[in-house]
Each structure stands twice: as structure tokens, then as C-alpha cells.
Chains A and B, each alone.
Chain A
Amino acid sequence: MASYLAKRLLLIVPTLLGVASLVFVIMRVIPGDVALLILGGDQGSHIDPQQLAAVRQQLGLDQPLIVQFGVWMWGLLHFDLGTSLWTGRPVVEELLIRLPLSLELAVLATMISVLISIPLGMLAAVRQDTWVDYVVRVVSIGGLAVPSFWVGILVILFLVLFFGWGPPLLFTPPWEDPWANLQQMIWPVVTVGYRYAAVTTRMTRSTLLEVLREDYIRTAWAKGLAQKAIVIRHALKNAMLPVITLIGTEFAFLIGGLVVTETVFTLNGVGRFVVDAVAHRDYPVVQALVFLIAFGFVLVNLLVDLTYAWFDPRIRYQER
């Protein structure tokens, strides 16, 4: 197990280095830079070539790419994520403004979806090809089919039109004012939670179906009604691993990937932050966030793989 762990940890290094290089290159290839935006104002009419050169120099954008990359890497090694080119503040400081909201949203949405999806997925699997199964599938596939920005906009419109109510515009942490917090978070949590429940329901259903097809389960099932509860519990245990994997990776995604939801519900979260940073060509912010998101993803994957390896010793030897 120890050597397996060591190998897996070693493989993380090239992946993260690759992500770092990729995001670095991509950001430099995208046309336009932050200096243009800083000088451009609303319409870009005041950009003066001399000032442009000065701003670029001031921000270190005129240095050779390899130097810029080196500086960034050196900072990362010292746990220094750099400074935002747009606001001039440390990236960590900017991130900490947005992180609590994103974490809360991710945790609540995950909770909701787990509560909904696991029972529903089980039900659908046990009743495969009956109307119960159909309803569950239609509802869950529906959750994946509707564009989230469309739903978000319609939800907001509906609330304001019929109740004259809109969500608060500023994030209040739950420990400061739970009621204000709830008002702001409820709708995004519900829309994200539903969508995410849809994914998990499908996964639960299909993995449970797989397990239910295993011979020993079928035999046990055939033995009679009394055993069914035990069977389901047993089958569920075996079926949960892929579902947990999915929940883990989705959770990692939720923290940085809810751009559209955050936009529609005026949430000052991490997803919106990354996308704004891309639009601002704020290299250090995009680089740091992409790196952190990738790091989170890799970490979750590692944990999942380790869990698998723990359960199934064969994996340890199979993997190179």
C-alpha cells in the first residue's frame, strides 16, 4: 500500500506541472492583456501607447515568458499565489472573499442532492422498467436538459413578478445572520441541488442495477420477500463506491464551476471570480485558481483511488 501511495503521489507532480504550463500558455495566447483593460476604461478610447508600455512594464508583462513562468513557479513553491494584476491585491485575499460562499453552496447542494438522489436512484433500480423507473428517469434527465441560466432567470423573474421578492444582493455568512443567508442561498442551492441530484440519481440507478445483476444477489432475491431489505442494503453497500466517487468529483467541480448560477443569482463566488479574471486577463488569478481547482480535483481522485485500492487489493498490483 505504501509503495502504491508513493507512486500515486509521484504521478501528481507531472499532472499539476502540466496544468500549470497549460494555463500559463493559454492565458498568454488569448488576445488582449490586462494593461489594455486598465487603460481602456469603458470604451478603450484613452489607450496611449507609451502609457501602455509603462503599465506593462510595471506589471512585469514585458518580461520574457520563461521568466514570468519561473517567477510564478517559485511563488507556488513558497505557497505564494501572487498578486492580482487587476486589483493589486494578493490572490489569496481575493480568494478568501469568495470562498466561504462557494463552499457553503457546494456543501448545501451536495447535501440536498444526496438526500434526494440515493433513495430515488435505488427506487428506480429496484423497479427497473416500471412507471416508477420512468418517472424517476424523466425527472432526472429533465434536470440535465434544461439550461441552468434559463432556469435561473425564469426563477428570479417568477419570484419578482408574483411576490415582488428578490434575493439579497450581498452575501451574509450563516453565522452572522442565518435568515439573510438562507434567503440568498435557497434558490441557487435548489437549482444546483436538483441538477446535481439528477446526475447522482442516474449513477445510483445504474450502479445498483449492475450489482443487482450479480448472481449472489439474484439468488438471495429469489429466496423471498423477507430478504429483500437485507439484499438492498447489501447491494447498496457495493454500489456506493462509484456514487461516492461521483459525489466527490462533483463537489470539487461545484466550488469553481458554478459560473452561470453565480451570475444569475448575483453570488460573489469562486466560479464567477475565475471567469471575470479570464475576462480581465488577470493572469495570476486565473493561474492560481485553475491550479487550485486542478489540485482539488487530483486530490479527490487520489482519495477515491486509495479507497478503491483499500477495498480491492488487486488494483494495487495492476497499476504501474
Chain B
Amino acid sequence: MSVYPLEHATASATLRRRLTAVEEVGKFIHAKPLGAAGAAVILAMLIVAFLARALAPYDPYTGDYELQFARPSLDHWLGTDEFGRDVLSRIMYGARIALFVGFTASVAGCSLGALLGVLSAYWGGRVDLLLERVMDILLSFPQLILALAIASILGPAVQNVVIAIAIPIVPRVARVVRAAAMSVKENVYVEAVRALGASRPRVVLQHIVPNVFAPYLIMLTAQLGSAILAEASLSYLGLGTAEPTPSWGLMLSGSAASYAEKAPWIAIFPGIAISLGVFGFNLFGDSLRDALDPKLRRG
């Protein structure tokens, strides 16, 4: 007799908890619908990328020569490309490359930029002067030429593309973070803390870093999307990842023009994947900025 009610009780409890979670999400969606949409896109991309091996119906590298340019069908939802490779599988594996390039390039570029920005602001003096000049140089150097040069010096491997995209990010982030750190540094309380005898690293870690975290995060999300786009553009110019790697930019750069009419699915779907991915990251980044930046918060 006692078993049933108990079970019933737990069931209803979980049910209620679930409802609250759903409500939470609902609330978020209601408050920041665009940000939520962006988050959903990112989440979907992450899932696809991590589970590509399980989700992708075919090997993205192996073409079926009997099925060149097959139209979208039940066997090949998004059709096949010029070598008979499954477009859907290539897009799924392509999510890995896009996310890998996007994340590593923007995290590396932003972190290095943030580090240099904080150091520059904190030490001031000659270090600042020197670092600022270096950043100025990088900043005024045409971004594309820099990426182009790095990519052609290092060769067209994925990790080199990451470097080529990351370096131009550094000065942009460094400048913003430095400005943020400067304003914190000049705050009365940091000066007070230092007067109390706190060590330099401690001041940096405890007071400056938390305060530049918001601009860092904003820059990071902003760069994620553009890093994915940058990879596509480098591929278009023949300096990105190399065939047969299933990269979105590469899938587009090779075929967009030549096959756009004969087999539009080859040209359209990777383009949609890129646009959607970048759109998601930017949407999310924008809302994040609205939320994190106190000056933009709704009053």
C-alpha cells in the first residue's frame, strides 16, 4: 500500500521540477528570444559536431562514383556532390571543422589579446608603450593580407588556418581589454587595495581580471562567427583547408560557382550551414552583450 503513493509522489515531484525548468527556458526565450535562438543554433551545431560519427549516414570522405550529383532523396537527404559524397554527412563533419576553427581561433586570439591588454594596462610605462605600438602595427596591417601571408607561409592545414585567423584578432581584443583594464586600474578601490600592500599578481587576478571578463566574453562571441566566415573566405581564395577535408568554406568555394545550376544542393546547403552558424553565434553574442554590458541593459 505504501509503495504506490511514494512512487506517485516522486513522479509528481520530478514533473514539477521539469515544469520549472521548462518555465525557466520559456522565460529566457521570452526575455531574449533572439539570444535564445542563437543559443539553440549553437547547441545544435555542437551536438552535430560531437555526434557526427554517429549521426552522419555516410563516410564524408568516400564518394560513390555511381552517384555523382544525385538529387536529394531518402538515401541522401541533401543529395551528393560531384564525387558522389553525401552532402549531409559532409556538412555534419564540416560542423566539427567550423567549430574547431571558430573556437580555437577566437579563444586563442582573444585570450592572447586579453592577456596582452591586461599586461599593457597593468604595467604601463614602457611595456605599455611597446605593446601598444606592436598592437598598432598589427591593427593597421591589412587583416586579409596578414591571414593570406600566414596561411601561405604555414601551408593549408586546419591548424595553420587557425593561426592565420587568430593573429589578426589579437590586437583588436587587446585594445578593448586594455581600455577596460585601464579604467579599472584607475578606480579608487584598486589603488586602495594596492596601498594596503596587495601583491601585483593578486591585484591583477582578483580585481582587474574579473572586470575585464565581460568585454572579453563579448569580443569572444563576436569573433566566433567571424572566424568561421574567415575560414570560408580563405578557402575561397585557395588558402584555407584542403580537399578532401569536409569544410563548409571549401565545399562552397569549389562548387558554388560551377555547380550552382546543375546541382544547386551542392552550392546551397553548405552556404546555408555557414550563414546559419555565423548567424547563431552573432545573435547569441549580441544578446550576451546586451545582457553583460551594464550600459546596454534595459533600464
* Touch A–B, Cβ below 8 Å: yes
By the criterion of a CB under 8 Å from any partner CB, how many residues of chain B are at the interface? 52
Q: Does A82 contact B (CB under 8 A)?
A: no
In chain A, what residue has the closest Cβ to B136?
Answer: A15
Contact B256 A153 (CB under 8 A): yes
Main secondary structure of the interface of B (DSSP, over half): helix
In chain B, what residue has the closest Cβ to A299?
Answer: B140
Contact A149 B253 (CB under 8 A): yes
Contact B149 A141 (CB under 8 A): no
User: How many angstroms between the C-alpha atoms of A142 and B275 in the bound complex?
Assistant: 8
Contact A290 B229 (CB under 8 A): no
Residues of B within 8 A of A138 (CB): 34, 283
B231-259 contacts to A, CB under 8 A, are 232-233, 236-237, 249, 252-253, 256-257
Main secondary structure of the interface of A (DSSP, over half): helix
User: How many angstroms between the C-alpha atoms of A320 and B126 in the bound complex?
Assistant: 11
Min C-beta distance of B279 to chain A, whole Å: 4
Contact A320 B129 (CB under 8 A): yes
Contact A19 B137 (CB under 8 A): yes
Residues of B within 8 A of A320 (CB): 128-129
**Most B CB atoms within 10 A — which of A19, A149, A259, A293?**
A149
Contact A141 B232 (CB under 8 A): no
Stretch of B109-117, B200-208, B209-217, B291-299 with 4 or more beta carbons under 8 angstroms from chain A: B291-299
Q: What is the size category of the interface that chain A forms with chain B? A: 35 or more
From B143, B279, B296, give the contact of A145 (CB < 8 A): B279
User: How many angstroms between the C-alpha atoms of A255 and B298 in the bound complex?
Assistant: 38
Q: Are A259 and B137 CB-contacts (below 8 A) given A30-B152, A209-B295?
A: no
Residues of A that sit less than 8 Å from B by CB: 11, 14-15, 18-19, 22-23, 26-27, 29-31, 128-129, 134, 137-138, 141-142, 144-150, 153-154, 157, 161, 202, 206, 209-210, 213, 218, 256-257, 259-260, 271, 274-275, 278, 286, 290, 293-294, 297-298, 301, 320
Q: Can you list 7 contacts pairing A with B, beta carbon distance less than 8 Å?
A: A15-B137, A144-B225, A145-B282, A149-B233, A149-B256, A154-B267, A320-B129
